[in-house]
Amino acid sequence: MSRVLIYNLVRFVVLVLVQVFLLKNVALYNLSVPYLYILFIMLLPFETPNVLLFFLSFILGLTIDAFYDTPGLHAAACVLMAFVRVLFISITVQKEGFDNEPEPTLGNMGFRWFFTYSSLLILFHHFFLFNLEVFSLSEIQYTLLRFLSSTVFTLFLVLISSFLFYRRKER
């Protein structure tokens, strides 16, 4: 097995365990809920085939759904996030850059790109997840408040974890 495969398998297991056993019980005023597990999708290598990316996103979402008792909500949001990831990377990253930067990490791509990338993916994931969860316009203000506060909380955790495991790009 290749080193990248083992590294991503460990990342999958660790992020799911952290989400399920630590972050599932963390909520600020029952509004802001962090979903750090989506970092797995965000940090998959650029060379990951789209079919594999969508499959891994679906499996990750189903795994979280099994622990959260939400039938398919996280799976659908993760697959949408994978689609947005493909679009964003195809627009912003040149194909020749894949050899130099194998993963879209903070150290490889720089703060501005990584912040925009993670903000956009988290926004799409959370907006879809919370609107699919409520599936009603009667509570739109509460849903938007939950969506925005959870996005900020998750983005904060993603940036903190990226800085903790920050490796500067070697030139």
Question: Residue range 125-152: average pLDDT?
Answer: 91
The model's pLDDT over 25-50, given as tens digits with 9 standing for 90+, comes to 888 887 899 999 999 999 999 889 99
The model's pLDDT over 1-21, given as tens digits with 9 standing for 90+, comes to 688 889 999 999 999 999 999
3-state secondary structure of 44: coil
pTM of the model: 0.90
- Going by C-beta distance under 8 Å and a sequence separation of 6 or more, which residues neighbour residue 124? 80, 81, 84
Say if residue 117's pLDDT is above 90: yes
> What percent of the chain lies above the pLDDT cut of 70?
92
pLDDT at res. 106: 87
Say if residue 99's pLDDT is above 60: no
Domain ranges of the chain: 3-164
CA distance 113 to 91: 12
Residue 15 identity (one-letter amino acid): L
HSE toward the beta carbon, residue 138, CA cutoff 13 A: 3
- At 102, the pLDDT band (50, 70, 90 cuts) reads confident
Question: Residue range 57-63: average pLDDT?
Answer: 96
